[in-house]
Structure 1
């Protein structure tokens, strides 16, 4: 566990918090985390002094950029324990990674095949499969959640048949922070020869990921959820599967040879990385990885769980407040509603006191409809948040409730 002094040292690595004269509180970390000064300075240094395209020229700047890209691919390979560096594909984020796979597997999906997702997915892990199933006349099946917000595994096993070809599930739900039993899901799916994609957006900064141990076919996440740059994501895929996929988009960098008669595609990972990469983001990502590794992801999870438990304890004192779902296996995300109070109204009032939270459906409208609610109030923690901030949040929350009553 981190000491008070260690947390203060960590906070000082984040310019937004270090220079926080108004003492604003940021509790919207599930949407995006803040960046360390090391990440910011690395991006600035590259942009000012080393800017160049990648894999295009023979000059020294291009060589530096190309070497940096491949070094960071190697670091990411070790970070999630992929088997081959070619299994790490740079994308613009989780959304593009999911869309890439949905597009590429289209040619392998037959009429009446089944795709399975869950009720607790982010829109980014719903719409691509909805579009794909409609395009290919496939069936989109949905795993319901139980009374505690967790996936109903009994129903999932009934949905699994020989027709099931693909499953897309979040590792940690973005609405309620529930850790899904992905090991169980992956093993069950593979018994039916179904492929599995795991959306790790909310897990990557708090759970040690070992894709070989998980045995998932694809694992996707965004770097801006792990103290790194925006506009960058990672698609991990098993090499033997990625080798079979057609290109998602075409252009420079993904070819071996082009003639007007035919084009010879490059091998992995370049086949799936057409166009100029987000080099500033890729180089900055290395500093985000180092920050997480230096903090220790295990210690980060332990500390954020401590914050979560304290928040649950203190908020439980408020009459009419319902927490979703404090009896479940939660991570750093806490969603709740207060009787007769609209989440949007509360969010607007809290921002007047410099407190940033998330309100609404959290890009999970089907789940809200399923639960018969319009949305929730969501607070989500990161390594730089503190018990004191939760106390301040509670104080102003009570004040807002008095104003709204």
Structure 2
């Protein structure tokens, strides 16, 4: 939580929505019902104002200048790093590396580990992973001879923990799993996953791009080696993310890119590298974006996480109640305690058609494979439609979603 922030234990939805200018617009002549939050969340006035204020009155490159503007920008940039550390309950800002998003953060770790991967070393991922937590490990399989093993999921969308235990072995090097599925909404038992992996001698990366938004992450309680988040899902700007790593985990990785800022000394014959986190932050950093993410997390930390989770759960429950008994709509993933993501398939209809018809009623949902093709195959669907709720959504919008879906289904029959 930001220093001095006041936590609200009740959500004033009217006041919250007033902070999001885009929510007042219309789409196709109807009020916008934005339910594509798992892809990217909208931005509150606090983030917009932070970006504008920095560009208008406080922008300069960081770490390199001795003038006032550079010092002010550096202070704001590093304060944002401290905000991320507080948000994740990381032990130190030095354990937070700025990246351009969750995908780059995972690639940073995978590239560094690739230097020590031997043929036959095993990497465990789950069937519910986003492509960003699959493809980098496939690249280690292709380039280094690693063996990719898949942790199966059960029909309700929960991870098969018994199968996970059986997959762990002496050649397991890395376990890479999502904190919360971007398709199913399943929240995985990441602390237990980490404990078991460490007992087997493996290291753990948690993809927290959804979990950081909905599951109140605490990296010290989880115990993982690395945790990844992305800013644009956390009500912040695009082009910014963060990698948390324990001091030992970050020290074990070589530089990801070369350039300015990530070095200590450079000569004709040698180079020495900076300590983490700056070792991984070559070149001019995303100054504005980092400040914007810090503002987003300061804003988000003003709310009681339990109140937000209860509200989102109520939105999901309302939508599910409205869809009860509607024939031809299959819900994907109904794990107990799941997050507020409702992904579904309509019998005899393509997801793109469903989403386009719903858009006519002002309801914005996502359609396709959701960057999780192995999961789609596991669930037996060629495509699906996803509604994902956020703290600014209302029960009336959950009703509007259900109404639009029912109309789309009727139209497509």
The verdict on a shared fold, with TM-score over 0.5 as the criterion, is yes
Residue 325 of structure 1: CA displacement? 2.3
Q: Distance in 1 between matches of 2:139 and 2:299?
A: 38
Q: Distance in 1 between matches of 2:377 and 2:272?
A: 48
Q: Distance in 1 between matches of 2:320 and 2:67?
A: 56
Comparing 189-198 with 19-28, greater Cα deviation is found at 19-28
Q: Distance in 2 between matches of 1:193 and 1:399?
A: 53
Q: Distance in 2 between matches of 1:302 and 1:372?
A: 31
Aligned to 2:111: 103
User: Quick check: 2:9–2:303 contact (8 Å CA) kept in 1?
Assistant: no
Q: Distance in 2 between matches of 1:325 and 1:280?
A: 37
SS in 1 for 2:405: helix
- Render the CA deviation track for 1:12-60: whole Å, top value 9, x for unaligned: 0101114558411100000010000110011011112222111111111
Pairing partner for 2:246 from 234, 238, 244:
238
- Render the CA deviation track for 1:172-221: whole Å, top value 9, x for unaligned: 00111101121221111000110000001111122221111111000001
Q: Distance in 2 between matches of 1:3 and 1:394?
A: 26
Aligned to 1:356: 364
Q: Distance in 2 between matches of 1:264 and 1:82?
A: 27
Is 1:378 aligned to residue 386 of structure 2?
A: yes
Q: Distance in 2 between matches of 1:344 and 1:364?
A: 16
Pairing partner for 2:65 from 57, 75, 92:
57
SS in 2 for 1:55: coil
Is 1:8 aligned to residue 8 of structure 2?
A: no
Q: Distance in 2 between matches of 1:300 and 1:51?
A: 33
Is 1:314 aligned to residue 360 of structure 2?
A: no
1:144-163 alignment, distance < 5 Å: 144-163=152-171
Aligned to 1:74: 82
Q: Distance in 2 between matches of 1:370 and 1:283?
A: 40
Pairing partner for 2:395 from 387, 392, 398:
387
Q: Distance in 1 between matches of 2:114 and 2:182?
A: 27
SS in 1 for 2:269: coil
SS in 2 for 1:294: coil
Residue 303 of structure 1: CA displacement? 0.5
Is 1:280 aligned to residue 285 of structure 2?
A: no
CA RMSD of aligned residues (A): 1.5
User: Quick check: 1:113–1:164 contact (8 Å CA) kept in 2?
Assistant: yes
Pairing partner for 2:209 from 175, 190, 201:
201
- Render the CA deviation track for 1:124-153: whole Å, top value 9, x for unaligned: 000000001221111110111112121111
User: Quick check: 2:157–2:335 contact (8 Å CA) kept in 1?
Assistant: no
Q: Distance in 2 between matches of 1:74 and 1:2?
A: 24
Aligned to 1:44: 52
Across the two proteins, how many residue pairs are aligned to each other?
A: 404
Residue 3 of structure 1: CA displacement? 6.1
SS in 2 for 1:204: helix
Pairing partner for 1:331 from 317, 339, 345:
339
**TM-score (structure 2 length as normaliser):** 0.95
Is 1:129 aligned to residue 137 of structure 2?
A: yes
- Render the CA deviation track for 1:345-385: whole Å, top value 9, x for unaligned: 11111112221101111001111122221021110000110
Aligned to 1:247: 255
Residue 2 of structure 1: CA displacement? 7.1
SS in 2 for 1:8: helix
User: Quick check: 2:346–2:409 contact (8 Å CA) kept in 1?
Assistant: no
User: Quick check: 2:156–2:335 contact (8 Å CA) kept in 1?
Assistant: yes
Pairing partner for 1:27 from 17, 32, 35:
35
Say if 1:3 and 1:67 are closer, same or farther in 2 by CA, change over 3 A.
closer
SS in 2 for 1:149: coil
Aligned to 2:303: 295
Aligned to 1:88: 96
Which 5+ residue runs of structure 1 have no aligned equivalent? none
Pairing partner for 2:272 from 246, 264, 274:
264
SS in 1 for 2:31: coil
User: Quick check: 1:84–1:239 contact (8 Å CA) kept in 2?
Assistant: no
SS in 2 for 1:221: strand
- Render the CA deviation track for 1:306-338: whole Å, top value 9, x for unaligned: 111111111123112111223543101011112
Q: Distance in 2 between matches of 1:292 and 1:129?
A: 32
